[in-house]
């Protein structure tokens, strides 16, 4: 497939990738082409920002989660030759698993999708030394993917002086610069960018950044580079495991669907869209609800899914919604299947305790407490294997990611979490016949058996609770966004 595409990457985190990516995407959208965005790695917030603030489709791509051909399949899915794809890198260009492996790195993603790279370099405090820095990256780029450079946090005078030297010595296109000013920066906090809902005048702010961006960066030059890439080859023939469509022909006209109620609001917003789509492919209907604003779990649902997010920031609102807390606890006690990850896992505890000692009562499904440790407790990729086969076939693993500052007095011991580089293991997840509760965020396409098992549990619950089974048909997908 011939698809115009470009990756925005950098030598290290904090170089300005997100600012450049958002400004470029907005500038391209202003010009008119159908723009889509992808985020390298397990980040939730950047795709959410792309969708809610810029108004374009966005999703994650991760070569550790889905391998080479699986990643290509997910990249190509739903795309046409009319699209313009912007991929945002993660960390430093070559930083993958454990900081040393290529899997999961921006470079590996660019390599398997044959995407040219524009390197964003923070040049603040640097003179000619920026040239050997970039030269090192070009020398290490054996696929010759780096096709352009943008300098960040520098002055116009320095840029005009250094640009001809860089182009002469490095034979690389220098596409522009961003000035060193606060107005050109995006806000951040401990888990990444602030949520889009929290950014005051966020769209206006991005438009202002974009207006300055197009003055100092050659968008036309980036478009030219993006149009010179080759078609993606087949390469690694190990495809991502794909579920078969629900029913023999993708669905049956009169078969009812079990409904998985997904918590989605200000507090719970970390979801991989591929996970939700996989649940639908296996035959579930998706209905969204808010643990903050609603007073009970949706009537007629047959399973609950609590994703990650920021429940600690909405502790008072969640704790005050006593009817919802009671409804969640009652559903769990009655045997409704439940999956909860990270922030959702915290919500199901007896309480969340803040650094100042403030205690917020939660659903009480788990008789334990979560508290702020003041430090990063766990970070990075994991492979998870059950001690007793319930959601996965015996001996199989599912891949995921952890990133949290809170810890629980009971993290569970139903599964092993294995670090893919070091092989270090630790116990995690509270699991039962029809529930999976833990800190790790899972990526279902890395082992679709998990999604299939969850939907099957919802179907069984529905069959045993006929009075609650509402008539969703196979060709209907409930999507109630708040």
Which CATH number does the domain housing residue 161 bear?
3.40.50.300
395 lies in a domain?
yes
Containing structural domain, residue 404: 259-468
What average pLDDT does the chain have? 88
Q: What is the pLDDT of residues 83-123, one digit of tens each?
A: 899 999 999 999 999 888 999 999 999 999 999 999 999 99
CA 122 – CA 190 distance, rounded (Å): 21
Predicted pLDDT at 197: 55
For residue 230, pLDDT beyond 80 = no
Task: Report the DSSP beta bridge partners of residue 352.
Answer: 360, 370
- On whether both 198 and 332 belong to a single domain, the answer is no
Instruction: Decide which of 185, 208, 226 is a domain's last residue.
Output: 226
- On whether both 200 and 325 belong to a single domain, the answer is no
CA 138 – CA 147 distance, rounded (Å): 9
Pair 13, 91: CB distance under 8 Å:
yes
In this prediction, residue 33 has a pLDDT band, given cuts at 50, 70 and 90, of: confident
* Active-site option among 40, 342, 370, 474: 342
- On whether both 192 and 308 belong to a single domain, the answer is no
Quote the crossing angle between the two packed helices 106-113 and 63-76, to the nearest 10°: 40
For residue 207, pLDDT beyond 60 = yes
Query: Three-class SS of residue 158?
Result: helix
- On whether both 88 and 222 belong to a single domain, the answer is yes
For residue 364, pLDDT beyond 80 = yes
- On whether both 277 and 392 belong to a single domain, the answer is yes
Pair 337, 440: CB distance under 8 Å:
no
Instruction: Decide which of 183, 204, 226 is a domain's last residue.
Output: 226
Contacts of 371-376 with C-beta under 8 Å, sequence gap 24+, read 371/406, 371/407, 372/312, 372/405, 372/406, 373/405, 373/406, 373/407, 374/405, 375/405, 376/403, 376/404, 376/405
Predicted pLDDT at 183: 72
The CATH number linked to 266 is 3.40.50.880
Residue 320: partners with Cβ closer than 8 Å, 6 or more residues away: none
In this prediction, residue 162 has a pLDDT band, given cuts at 50, 70 and 90, of: very high
481 lies in a domain?
no
- On whether both 282 and 221 belong to a single domain, the answer is no
- On whether both 123 and 176 belong to a single domain, the answer is yes
247 lies in a domain?
no
- On whether both 383 and 424 belong to a single domain, the answer is yes
Q: What is the pLDDT of residues 111-158, one digit of tens each?
A: 999 999 999 999 999 999 999 999 999 999 999 999 999 999 999 999
Query: Three-class SS of residue 432?
Result: strand
Query: Three-class SS of residue 90?
Result: coil
355 lies in a domain?
yes
For residue 53, pLDDT beyond 70 = yes
Instruction: Decide which of 177, 210, 226 is a domain's last residue.
Output: 226
Q: Global pTM?
A: 0.84
Predicted pLDDT at 100: 87
- On whether both 153 and 17 belong to a single domain, the answer is yes
Q: Cα 15 to the chain's mean position, in Å?
A: 20
Task: Decide the pairing of beta strands 415-418 and 425-428.
Answer: antiparallel
In this prediction, residue 403 has a pLDDT band, given cuts at 50, 70 and 90, of: very high
CA angle 134, 50, 37 (to 5 degrees): 60
CA 455 – CA 320 distance, rounded (Å): 31
Residue 24: partners with Cβ closer than 8 Å, 6 or more residues away: 6, 8, 86, 213, 217, 219, 222
Average pLDDT over residues 245-269: 70
The three state secondary structure string of 114-157 is: CCCEEEEEECCCCCCCHHHHHHHHHHHCCCCCEEEEEEECCCHH
For residue 199, pLDDT beyond 60 = no
- On whether both 290 and 374 belong to a single domain, the answer is yes
In this prediction, residue 45 has a pLDDT band, given cuts at 50, 70 and 90, of: confident
**What is the number of domains present in the chain?**
2
Q: What is the pLDDT of residues 407-454, one digit of tens each?
A: 999 999 999 999 999 999 999 999 999 999 999 999 999 999 999 999
The percentage of residues in the chain with a pLDDT greater than 70, rounded to a whole number, is 87
CB atoms within 10 A of CB 13: 11
Q: What is the pLDDT of residues 290-344, one digit of tens each?
A: 999 999 999 999 999 999 999 999 999 999 999 999 999 999 999 999 999 999 9
Q: What is the pLDDT of residues 370-399, one digit of tens each?
A: 999 999 899 899 999 999 999 999 999 999
For residue 7, pLDDT beyond 60 = yes
342 is catalytic: yes
254 lies in a domain?
no
Higher per-residue pLDDT: 268 or 76: 268
Kindly report which listed range (37-41, 229-233, 274-278, 478-482) carries the lowest average pLDDT score: 478-482
CA 86 – CA 104 distance, rounded (Å): 17
For residue 24, pLDDT beyond 50 = yes
Average pLDDT over residues 281-298: 97
For residue 11, pLDDT beyond 90 = yes
For residue 236, pLDDT beyond 60 = no
């Amino acid at each position: 497939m011939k698809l115009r595409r470009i990756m925005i990457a950098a030598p290290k985190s904090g170089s300005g990738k997100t600012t450049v990516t958002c400004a470029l995407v907005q500038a391209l959208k202003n010009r008119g082409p159908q723009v889509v965005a992808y985020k390298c790695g397990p980040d939730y917030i950047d795709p959410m920002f792309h969708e809610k603030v810029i108004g374009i489709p966005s999703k994650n791509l991760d070569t550790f989660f889905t391998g080479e051909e699986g990643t290509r399949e997910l990249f190509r899915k739903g795309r046409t030759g009319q699209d313009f794809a912007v991929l945002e890198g993660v960390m430093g260009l070559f930083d993958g698993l454990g900081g040393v492996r290529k899997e999961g790195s921006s470079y590996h993603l660019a390599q398997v999708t044959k995407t040219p790279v524009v390197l964003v370099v923070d040049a603040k405090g640097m003179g000619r030394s920026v040239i050997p820095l970039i030269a090192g990256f070009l020398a290490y780029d054996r696929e010759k993917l780096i096709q352009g450079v943008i300098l960040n946090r520098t002055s116009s005078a320095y840029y005009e002086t250094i640009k001809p030297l860089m182009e002469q010595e490095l034979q690389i296109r220098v596409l522009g610069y961003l000035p060193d000013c606060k107005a050109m920066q995006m806000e951040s906090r401990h888990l990444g960018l602030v949520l889009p809902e929290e950014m005051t005048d966020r769209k206006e702010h991005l438009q202002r950044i974009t207006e300055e961006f197009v003055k100092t960066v050659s968008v036309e030059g980036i478009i030219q580079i993006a149009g010179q890439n080759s078609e993606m080859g087949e390469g690694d023939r190990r495809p991502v495991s794909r579920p078969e469509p629900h029913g023999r022909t993708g669905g049956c006209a009169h078969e009812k669907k079990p409904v998985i109620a997904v918590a989605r609001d200000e507090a719970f917003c970390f979801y991989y869209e591929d996970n939700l789509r996989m649940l639908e492919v296996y035959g579930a209907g998706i209905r969204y609800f808010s643990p903050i604003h609603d007073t009970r779990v949706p009537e007629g649902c047959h399973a609950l899914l609590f994703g990650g997010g920021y429940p600690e920031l909405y502790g008072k609102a969640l704790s005050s919604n006593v009817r919802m807390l009671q409804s969640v606890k009652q559903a769990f006690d009655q045997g409704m299947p439940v999956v909860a990850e990270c922030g959702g896992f915290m919500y199901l505890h007896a309480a969340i305790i803040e650094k100042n000692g403030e205690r917020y009562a939660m659903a009480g499904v788990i008789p334990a407490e979560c508290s702020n440790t003041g430090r990063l407790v766990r970070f990075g990729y994991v492979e998870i294997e059950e001690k007793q086969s319930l959601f996965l076939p015996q001996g199989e693993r599912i891949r995921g990611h952890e990133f949290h500052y809170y810890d629980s007095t009971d993290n569970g011991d139903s599964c092993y979490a294995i670090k893919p580089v070091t092989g270090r293991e630790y116990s995690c997840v509270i699991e039962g016949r029809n529930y999976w509760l833990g800190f790790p965020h899972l990526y279902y396409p890395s082992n679709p058996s998990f999604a299939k098992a969850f939907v099957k549990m919802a179907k069984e619950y529905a069959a045993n609770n006929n009075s609650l089974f509402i008539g969703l048909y196979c060709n209907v997908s409930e999507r109630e966004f708040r």
